[in-house]
Structure 1
């Protein structure tokens, strides 16, 4: 499915005229305003790791306790729910931290969002 769509997109893209931008882009990059303390890369990296870990810490505690005490772990349905909660938490934190970078007018936002 991907290969025909790639060729169709390339064909359609080369047939279209080039985009005429209404405003000229300056070659000199704008100065990034002073960032607040919660927009720093170290803080966003810590938040991007601590919050998802906090979402699954209790479940990890029960799994490790059952392994160390040589017991069986039976709550696989709850583990699946915790996995969904982890995925949602990671997605929401990444979106929120990227939004904070964009509202701070930081045009190098992609590096910080990569670490978050």
Structure 2
């Protein structure tokens, strides 16, 4: 299988010609040459949910509900859990190596 360019890349970086290095004269833009680099980002994403608390004039407090499944002060997300299951069940990677992967590559301690 040969790697093919995609129609809609995630990011486009335009590289301009440094005209200070060109011979004197006038130039107009006539197009561009495009190349694509396929890469992946391994990173941790922590989302903090802050449920607003309001109080009425009688002192009664009301707290906004957290999203479904957000039940603890700190917990693993669905994507992280799915990735761990994929590694352990499909790739058959030992649990200790999965722990090391999450700790060393993403700075996420897994218990």
Q: Calculate the TM-score normalised by the size of structure 1.
A: 0.30
Higher relative contact order (CA closer than 8 Å, sequence separation 6+): 1
Q: Which has the larger radius of gyration?
A: 2
